[in-house]
Chains A and B, each alone.
Chain A
């Protein structure tokens, strides 16, 4: 088996299209995870026991089962009850739900780390609950969360090849289809590794910077 540069340039456009989808899925998945995490945290803090228990159980359930199974469920099982989703959308929903349960834990820890005295001072200052969240809680709770959230961002990025299982044409899937049609594996699969490595390295450098800037979560 010899490394064929000509073949590399030939398949590059397809692989780059795959990279685009991989990055897109990561960004959309992260955005959804950020929102899902917020919803979970708010629901779990709800005074309504039925709401907090149900959401708590669902979150544990999602976190305790493999992402791949969830992706299959969303893409192949939901159509049975009439919910037919395009592959990328199904993938983003899967990533967002799965990682949303992790971001919820980051939010929860960040909020719980805020001393009780801050809530009490806000109340003694007669701030409303919304004002308390905006002006007292979030400005203090969010910065320490950023490194942990960035970690999950990178972890999610590295799990996007799972989306190939539900026919999303991300990087891994493009590489596989190139390989299958040309019977050459070495270049496409090596390049997949290189792309992931390069993007991960760039992200890790960004993460180190965020950690220095905002400090690690205790």
Chain B
């Protein structure tokens, strides 16, 4: 596990450099910069509309950027070098870069016409040219890890939200990405189903050296899970630090106000 202070010694696996993102006239991200070390577990917190989802979507190439640069695992994400100049990357480059990154969505987005196991094996078979038998063996291992092996034959519509989300995590893991992005993966779940998904995430964090970025409104989970917290507001990082610092001794007024509101809403940190 790498802590904030050690960055600079290790080459970062993600380097976001002054990126801006506009939706029409609205500036969603404003010269945003941050770095993530390999294996680091990062929680992104902040008020609604502060750009947390957007930065994850940008890292997954689901959204484009208006300016700035992003480096992932040593390569530019949105640019390629041509004649010594950085120019916009083509689809083939994006396709190569996406191999390094996986994402789990708030609303699961399982493929409803495919069984649980087929959801997990589809991408490895198609994009990694894995043999079906190998993909299924690995798929079953992953489903076992998220506690869904007994539902391998089920269709997504037969599952509860928590079960769907665990399958979605297995599906993202099947491509063995170096970086995993989680966007509020428990916020669409009934309260009693949240814990089973969080347990899978804790297991992942403990057992793998994957780099994980997680957007969450569950502060106590962010506290346990993250090596470092990024507090977003207005498309910028207002404050960052270890969970203990951010939650116990927030320096910025806006962080303090945000946490006060969260506690007033009844959450424990």
A120 to chain B, nearest CB (A): 5
Interface size band for B: 20 to 34
Instruction: State whether the Cβ of A128 lies closer than 8 Å to any Cβ in chain B.
Output: yes
B:45-77 near A, CB below 8 Å: 60-62
Check: B111 CB closer than 8 A to any chain A CB: yes
B105 and A120 contacting across the interface, CB-CB below 8 Å: yes
- Asked if A213 is an interface residue, CB under 8 A from chain B, the answer is no
Please, how many residues of chain A have a CB less than 8 angstroms from a CB on the other chain? 17
- Could you tell me if A123 and B98 are in contact, using CB atoms closer than 8 angstroms? yes
CB distance from A48 to the nearest CB of B (A): 16
Tell me which of A134-142, A167-175, A204-212 binds B: A134-142
Q: Any chain A CB within 8 A of the CB of B122?
A: yes
Q: Does B252 touch A at the CB level, under 8 Å?
A: no
Assembly CA distance A129 to B103 (angstroms): 18
Contacts of B111 in A (CB 8 A): 118, 121, 135-136, 140
Does B175 lie at the interface of the complex (its beta carbon under 8 Å from any beta carbon of A)? yes
User: Is the CB of A124 closer than 8 A to any CB of chain B?
Assistant: yes
A151 at the A/B interface (Cβ < 8 Å)? no
Please state if B126 and A127 are interface contacts (CB–CB under 8 Å): yes
Q: Does A113 contact B (CB under 8 A)?
A: no
Within the complex, the shortest CB–CB distance from A9 to chain B, in Å, comes to 52
Which of the residues B61, B91, B107, B171 comes within 8 Å of A125, measured between beta carbons? Answer: B171
Determine whether the beta carbon of A121 is less than 8 Å from that of B126.
no
Closest to B124 in A: A125
B123 contacts the other chain (CB 8 A): yes
Cβ of B95 within 8 Å of any chain A Cβ, yes or no, is: yes
Does chain B have a CB within 8 A of A82?
no
Most buried by B among A125, A131, A135: A125
Residues of chain B within 8 A of A135, CB atoms compared: 111, 122, 126
* Cβ-defined contact, A121 with B98, below 8 A: no
| Residues of chain B whose beta carbon lies under 8 Å from any beta carbon of chain A | 60-62, 91, 95, 98-99, 101-103, 105, 107, 109-113, 122-123, 126-127, 171-172, 175
